[in-house]
Each structure stands twice: as structure tokens, then as C-alpha cells.
Structure 1
């Protein structure tokens, strides 16, 4: 019957002290006249039974050792998992504490944003964003300058996108024209090769045709006057 690893006393096999004491008694018994109690066959049977009992106790001890070994391994694994979970929780706690500290120390960095100078703002911004009332309020003036900077960046970004789109269109047109030019060039090369072949054939034909000799006109020699 399998024992529960949670009850150590139930998992341990019986003590072999009784069997060992009985074996010592058999070994240490003084020599006596043969009687029914001192029959060697009976002693051998008794000793065999004791040895069989010891083997059974040994097997039970090995089984108990394996059971406790598995229980110890399971407990160690559970403890390792618990320790790992604790480490993860501590790491998450430290991370949250750092994030909380960052949030507490957070400060706006609008002062570090590169914006148009006040003179440029006065020249470029709409009149409604640079009235005398606005100029008298530093906070509102900074808000208007940041708002104007944002609108300018958005406008420039839109312009940049339009230029990129126009660039892509021009690149496509350039590629198309390049393909057309390559086609025309290949066609011209083909025509030039054809013309060269025709010229060569004409030259060969002229060289192989015999030349016709025309009669030389007679020259009259004037007589003596």
C-alpha cells in the first residue's frame, strides 16, 4: 500500500531491530543436545524467514527513501517556483517605484523646444495671436508661440510630404522616359547595324561586278597647213 508523503511516520517501514535480535539469538545460542527446538532444519527455516523479513524491510526502506526523495524534489521545485515568483514581484515593485519616482520628478520641457524668436513670431504670426493683451500676458504669449510653432511645423511637414510625393512622381516619370530612351536607342542601334550590313553587301556587290570599258574616242591629227 502506497504511503502518503505528508505523513512521515506512516511512510517509514517497521524497525528491523526485532529480526536482527532474533538472528543474534540464533547465532549466539549455545550448543545443546539435539531437541525439537534445536533442530538445524528448524533453525534454518527460522533464519530464512528472518532473512526474508529483513529483505522485505529493506525493500520497504528503499521504497520509502524513493517516496521521500520525490516528495523532497517536489517541495524543492515548489519552493524554487515560489522564490522565482517572489523575485519577479520584487523586480516589478522596483520598476513601479522607479516609474512613480519619474512621474513625481516630471517637469515640462517646453522651454527646451526650439521655437521662432519673439521677433519672428511678431512678424509671422496672425494678428489675433499677438495682440497687446496677449503680449501683456507672458503665459498666454508662450501658449500662442507654442501653438504657432506647432502649426508651422505641421505646415512644413505637409509641404515636405507634398514635395516627397512630387519627387516620387518625377522619379516615376524619369524612369518611364529612361525606358523609352533605351528603347529608342536600341531601335537606332538596330537600324545602324542594318544599314551597316546593307552597305557592306552593296560594297561586296560592287567589287564583284566587272567594270565595263568604254571605247576611247579617236583624236584627229591636224594636217600640215
Structure 2
């Protein structure tokens, strides 16, 4: 296992310890026939130093494993938080869409009744219409009511446009969250790749 540089998908790459292959090869040399005529005490000292180095590498590998597990847990927590936020936004989006549909389907009893100004009404009214009756005198109030209804209609249209703009913003936010969730999931997948482990010196690996 060689030391790695950190990358956007593996920010912990730098903590990976170097490969123990060199130390293991040197230990194999020490027990080979090449060192039969060497001073045993020197061979023992060198072997002890190599074993100490292997133990240090093993501790570093264990530390790297724990660090990667913690990073994986943190990334999963971040992904869960992002997913929860996405669900909340989807719920809000559906709620706003229902409200917009209600506004679009709203049918006022006044929208199909033509309302004319008093002067126009007096011109188009039939001759038998009692223009001087109390009801005719209430025409200014009707005109005022008409203006109020027009203002109410404009307010509803304005509110509907505002809600449409909110829905568009929510859609954009959802797209950004989905992109973030994809990036986090990719990081998690990279972090959970199996790490090679270094066995304690003196322990043999069972044959497969």
C-alpha cells in the first residue's frame, strides 16, 4: 500500500501509510542463505528495527482505516441531511402547485357579468328601464364594487405569478440539492472502497 495524495473524492488519501513491501523483502533476505556468514547480533538488531517499522506501519494503517470510517459516516450523515432537505422542498413544491391550481380554477360569480360605467349603461339601457329608481341611484356603489373586484382580481393574478416564481426557485433549489446528493454519494462510494490491511508481524495469512 503506497501513500496517496488527497483528491476531491478522497480527501483522506494523504493519511494512508506507505507500503510495507520493502521491509518484508528485507526480512526475507535476513533469513536467506545470503546472511548465513554475517554477525548474528547485527542481523538480530536489523531484524528488530524492521519489526518495529512494520508495527508502526500497522498502527498507521489502523488509524487510516478508522479515519476513513469516520469520513464515510460523516458523508452519509451529510447525504441524509441533504436528502431530508430535498424531501421537504418536494413537499413544499407540491403544496405550492396545489395552491396555484386552486387560484387558476377559482371562478368568481362576477367574472361573467358585464359591468358598465354609469354613462355607458344609460346609453345602452332600454327606454323602459327605471333609470331614476333607487336602484339606478345605487349605480355609483356598483361602480365602486366593480373597481374593488378588479383590484381583487389583479391581486389574485399577482399572487399567482409570485407563487409560480416561488415554484421555479424551488425547482432550481431541488436541482442543486440533487446534484449535491449525487456528489456526496460519489464521495461515499469512494470512501467505502476496501482498504488493504497490514497484518501484525509474526502472523501468517491463511492460505485461500
TM-score range, shorter chain: 0.3 to 0.5
What is the TM-score of this pair, normalised by structure 1? 0.43
Larger Rg: 1
Compare the two structures and name the one with the higher helix fraction. 1
- The structure, 1 or 2, with the larger RCO (C-alpha pairs under 8 Å, 6+ apart) is 2
